[in-house]
């Protein structure tokens, strides 16, 4: 097969994250606006060209005041850095439908190497328009300090308000541009 251009189906996709809060629980959030540029051959995903762009101000943690703080200078600084970007640099097959996708993640003005664990969930034909549809799950954990996001508050009982590790989970559905 040959590479085909795929279009992200945002209605069937998500970009979510979670972080430890007060050392005892997890806060989860999502990004409401994101896009992808994907060209691939589903028979050989190691040759795919993949990049993502997330609108940083579309963050939603279901708490408006917290979202405002995350958009500010202590975290994303969306006025200066309106997007979070990822560009894959190498995709390697681990086994079966499992892959490693290494690339460069740019967040709050800092670019760092990141590797996602990816699962190819399969493909099908869309009965409505005949396009080929494919699904993927991708997960990684990053250190927010690696991206210069160091805001925190010490807790009276020990520890800090916000954990360093950010778990990122991406679920996408794409279809051919036919």
pLDDT in tens, the chain (178 residues): 688 899 999 999 999 999 988 777 899 999 999 999 999 988 889 999 999 999 999 999 999 999 999 999 999 999 999 999 999 999 999 999 999 999 999 999 999 999 999 999 999 988 888 888 899 999 999 999 999 988 878 878 888 788 889 999 999 999 987 6
Q: What local confidence, expressed as pLDDT, does residue 151 receive?
A: 82
Decide: 36 and 172 in contact? Cβ < 8 Å. Answer: yes
The pTM for the full model equals 0.92
Alpha carbon dihedral 38, 58, 83, 103, in 10-degree steps, equals: -50
Q: What local confidence, expressed as pLDDT, does residue 163 receive?
A: 84
Q: What local confidence, expressed as pLDDT, does residue 85 receive?
A: 97
Question: CA–CA separation, 176 vs 55, rounded Å?
Answer: 24
SS3 125: strand
Which domains, from first to last, does the chain contain? 4-176 (2.40.128.110)
Q: What local confidence, expressed as pLDDT, does residue 48 receive?
A: 93
Question: CA–CA separation, 62 vs 64, rounded Å?
Answer: 6
C-alpha separations of 169 from 13, 17, 81, 127 in Å: 11, 6, 21, 28
Look up tokens 């460069």; give the residue.
Answer: 104
Structure tokens at 41: 């051959």
Q: What local confidence, expressed as pLDDT, does residue 178 receive?
A: 60
């Amino acid at each position: 097969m040959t590479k085909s251009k795929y279009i992200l189906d945002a209605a069937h996709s998500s970009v979510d994250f979670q972080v430890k809060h007060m050392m005892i629980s997890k806060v989860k959030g999502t990004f409401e606006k994101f896009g992808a540029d994907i060209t691939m051959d589903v028979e050989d995903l190691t040759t795919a060209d993949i990049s993502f762009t997330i609108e940083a101000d579309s963050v939603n943690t279901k708490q408006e005041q917290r979202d405002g703080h995350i958009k500010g200078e202590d975290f994303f600084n969306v006025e200066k850095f309106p997007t979070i970007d990822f560009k894959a640099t190498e995709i390697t097959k681990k086994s079966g439908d499992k892959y490693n996708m290494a690339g460069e993640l740019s967040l709050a003005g800092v670019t760092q190497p990141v590797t996602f664990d990816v699962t190819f969930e399969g493909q099908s034909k869309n009965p409505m328009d005949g396009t080929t549809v494919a699904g993927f799950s991708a997960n990684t954990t990053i250190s927010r300090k690696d991206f210069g996001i160091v805001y925190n508050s010490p807790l009276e009982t020990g520890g800090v308000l916000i954990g360093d590790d950010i778990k990122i989970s991406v679920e996408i559905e794409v279809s051919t541009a036919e």
